[in-house]
Structure 1
């Protein structure tokens, strides 16, 4: 049974002494966070205000950018505080709140990417029926599903973890992680393992199957279709595939960090790998979609010019 002190907080043991350059590190992380906020907010505003972008593809993109703001805010302010702190501790309620934010962010991200692949499948394989198949009502339902079910599943998971009796309070990470907390349990956590397998099937395997199915059909249509069809597929699918691969690599790094002993790997590299999917994805996606999608690129240029705000608003009236 835990004593009151151990139950009140967790110690993050992955931090190392950064006194020589902690302020430099602080400003680098702060710059990244400000850039993520600005880039994602600009794209959300562009899509929200411009009526020509009120199409399913761009609405799913808007949901993606909102999720990146949410996930970044669950990590970066916490990192900034810890960088300046000499005692790398976090209260138990705040730790579980961070677990919820980061896990729900990752779950929503994968769900969003899978629904975007399904949307591209309909647009490329059924171009004439697309507006009938992907109606505004269906788009709204898909957005609701991609946010509601991951949030519900992660709330249950975190609640089950918070109810465990723990034999320690040291987490060998730079942020709170559910798997690391469960490993501290001295009570039986078989139910959590079973539940974890269930939500993995719902939140990971099902979206992955949908992505594989969608791209299998897209490749089949491209192989049998015209040059114009192939060009359309490449133009619309390349940013999505790049985003998907980047997120997948980041998740693989996180799994390696959580499940295997990487003590032989330099601590700096372990930290970078552990936060890769939480930092690079929100940095990568705004640049990727902003630079590759001509509609968004043109409207962003209009918005960012000195006289651009007036012309941007006029353009969208």
Structure 2
């Protein structure tokens, strides 16, 4: 069978066509969100990097979440803004594969990082005396490196495999690319890659949920047995992590759910809202949640803002 993906010059992103009527409004909204989140992310990373007291596992994992969020945002927001201003509604196949790789890498790394955070909090609360040896900064970096390494290899293989599919269409019902969107355009037999991809996704999500649920249940049980002050502090931290994790999983599953819908009976606008809302929520809420609910980070952020405002005032 002729590989038709080689003769399709560009792929059309239908979501950009749907946004054409209010593209300047969407551009302003996207710009404000992206710049605000980027500034907040950079502040959090700088604070953790420059504050020696924050050089411990929990803040290293938070820093990894924030950096990964910036990586995911960079794969989505800048291109969207350029397309809105320029009026482009297409993307090359190569560009589509690169964007799919970046966004899917971001999602997988977040899942693994949230899982490691749950395990870290379980060790900190349930084994406080042994925690310094069970979770060292060296082990923290190893966990982060393994997560990134595994996801990078897996997504590289998956995206390269997807690139070999024969495409019989050129329209994607979205404003960004995913491998699932390309598989839906395939005119060849993509059942094997589809089954493998679904299996790996389900395995990753289910195993992560099981670890997180187990760790937090055990941690909450221990919290009820310790002093009231220590219990409140531990529960506040756990609630912050659970809020971030549940928001991310809900947004991610929300995006994935749209592929289970009957495309013929659901409007393109509805698909667009699901796709943009899901990715937008998952890439922007982590810095807000950790920046506002983590007391040390919140105080440092407020301190930095006051310092910048003071420097900006005329003498």
| Same fold (TM > 0.5) | yes
**1:257 alignment partner in structure 2:** 258
CA contact (8 A) 1:11 1:89 kept: yes
For this pair of structures, how many residues does the alignment match? 310
Which range is displaced more, 55-64 or 287-296? 287-296
**2:91 alignment partner in structure 1:** 90
Q: Give the whole-Å Cα distance in 1 for the aligned partners of 2:142 and 2:183.
A: 34
Q: Per the alignment, do residues 48 and 4 of structure 1 end up closer, same or farther by CA in structure 2, a change over 3 Å counting?
A: closer
Q: Per the alignment, do residues 19 and 93 of structure 1 end up closer, same or farther by CA in structure 2, a change over 3 Å counting?
A: closer
Q: CA deviation at 1:67?
A: 0.3
**1:23 alignment partner in structure 2:** 24
**1:71 alignment partner in structure 2:** 72
Q: What's the secondary structure of 1:15's corresponding residue? A: helix
Q: Per the alignment, do residues 282 and 13 of structure 1 end up closer, same or farther by CA in structure 2, a change over 3 Å counting?
A: closer
**1:100 alignment partner in structure 2:** 101
**1:138 alignment partner in structure 2:** 139
Q: Per the alignment, do residues 27 and 171 of structure 1 end up closer, same or farther by CA in structure 2, a change over 3 Å counting?
A: same
Which range is displaced more, 219-228 or 183-192? 219-228
Q: What's the secondary structure of 2:58's corresponding residue? A: helix
**1:315 alignment partner in structure 2:** none
**2:119 alignment partner in structure 1:** 118
| Pair 1:148-2:156 in alignment | no
Q: Give the whole-Å Cα distance in 1 for the aligned partners of 2:186 and 2:268.
A: 25
Q: Give the whole-Å Cα distance in 2 for the aligned partners of 1:242 and 1:57.
A: 16
Q: What's the secondary structure of 1:99's corresponding residue? A: helix
Mapping 1:1-317, distance limit 5 Å: 1-3=2-4, 6-200=7-201, 203-261=204-262, 267-306=268-307
Query: Can you list the C-alpha shifts for 1:126-177, whole angstroms capped at 9, x where unaligned?
Result: 1111111101221111111121111111111100000111111211111112
Q: What's the secondary structure of 1:11's corresponding residue? A: strand
Q: What's the secondary structure of 2:11's corresponding residue? A: strand
Query: Can you list the C-alpha shifts for 1:6-58, whole angstroms capped at 9, x where unaligned?
Result: 43321112334545432121111111111111110110000001100001000
TM-score by length of 2: 0.90
Q: CA deviation at 1:198?
A: 4.6
Q: Per the alignment, do residues 20 and 272 of structure 1 end up closer, same or farther by CA in structure 2, a change over 3 Å counting?
A: closer
TM-score by length of 1: 0.90
CA contact (8 A) 1:303 1:309 kept: no
CA contact (8 A) 1:153 1:199 kept: no
- Where structure 1 has 5 or more consecutive residues not aligned to the other structure, the ranges are 311-317
Q: Give the whole-Å Cα distance in 2 for the aligned partners of 1:4 and 1:217.
A: 51
Q: CA deviation at 1:124?
A: 1.1
CA contact (8 A) 1:150 1:203 kept: no
Which range is displaced more, 190-199 or 45-54? 190-199
Q: CA deviation at 1:207?
A: 2.0
Q: Per the alignment, do residues 159 and 251 of structure 1 end up closer, same or farther by CA in structure 2, a change over 3 Å counting?
A: same
Over the residues paired in the alignment, what is the CA RMSD in angstroms? 2.3
- Where structure 2 has 5 or more consecutive residues not aligned to the other structure, the ranges are none
Q: What's the secondary structure of 2:44's corresponding residue? A: helix
Q: Per the alignment, do residues 257 and 238 of structure 1 end up closer, same or farther by CA in structure 2, a change over 3 Å counting?
A: same
Q: CA deviation at 1:268?
A: 4.1
Q: Per the alignment, do residues 212 and 85 of structure 1 end up closer, same or farther by CA in structure 2, a change over 3 Å counting?
A: same
Q: Give the whole-Å Cα distance in 1 for the aligned partners of 2:265 and 2:226.
A: 50
CA contact (8 A) 2:12 2:170 kept: yes
